[in-house]
Amino acid sequence: MDFTVLAKGIALAGCGIGAGLSLIAGIGPGIGEGRAAAAAVESIARQPEASADIRSTLILGVALAETTGIYGFVTGLLLIFVAPGLFLGKL
C-alpha cells in the first residue's frame, strides 16, 4: 500500500497544529505590557513633571518584553510558509 499521501497529509497537519500552538506565546507580552502600562500611568499620576522620562522608559520596556511574543510569531510563520516546502521535499 502506498502511504505517501497519508504521510504528506500528516506532515502538513502537524505544521498547521504547531503553528496554531506556537501563537499561544502571545499571552505573555499582553499581560506583562499591560502591567507595565498600568505602572506607568500610576507614576505619571503621582508625578506629572516626569512624564516624558516615564514615557520613554515605558516604550523601552515594552519593546524588550515583546521579544518572546515575536519569537512565537516568527515560529508560527516559519511553520506555515517554510516548513511544508522543507518537509514535503523529503517525502
Partner 1 sequence: MEINLHGSWYITILKDTPLGDIHITMTMIIGWVVLLVLSTICFILGHNLKVHNISKRQAAAEYIVEALNKFVRGNMGNQFDKYIPFIGAMFATAIFSNLISLFGVWSPTADLNTELGWAMIAFVLITYYKIKSQGMGGYLKGYLQPLAPMLPINIISELATPVSMACRHFGNILSGMVINTLIYAALGLASSALLGLIPEIGVWLGAHIPIFEIGIPAFLSLYFDWFSGLIQPFIFCTLTCMFIKQASEAD
Binding piece for partner 1, criterion CB under 8 A, among 16-24, 29-37, 44-52, 69-77: 69-77
| Stretch 48-67 residues interacting with partner 1 (CB under 8 A) | 59-60, 63-64, 66-67
Does residue 74 interact with partner 1 by CB under 8 A? yes
Q: Does 81 sit near partner 1 (CB under 8 A)?
A: yes
Count Cβ atoms below 10 Å from residue 81 Cβ, excluding itself. 11
Separation of alpha carbons 87 and 91, rounded Å: 7
Render the burial of 46-60: b for 16+ CB within 10 Å, e for the rest.
eeeeeeeebeeebee
Q: Which residues bind partner 1 (CB under 8 A)?
A: 59-60, 63-64, 66-67, 70-71, 73-74, 77, 81
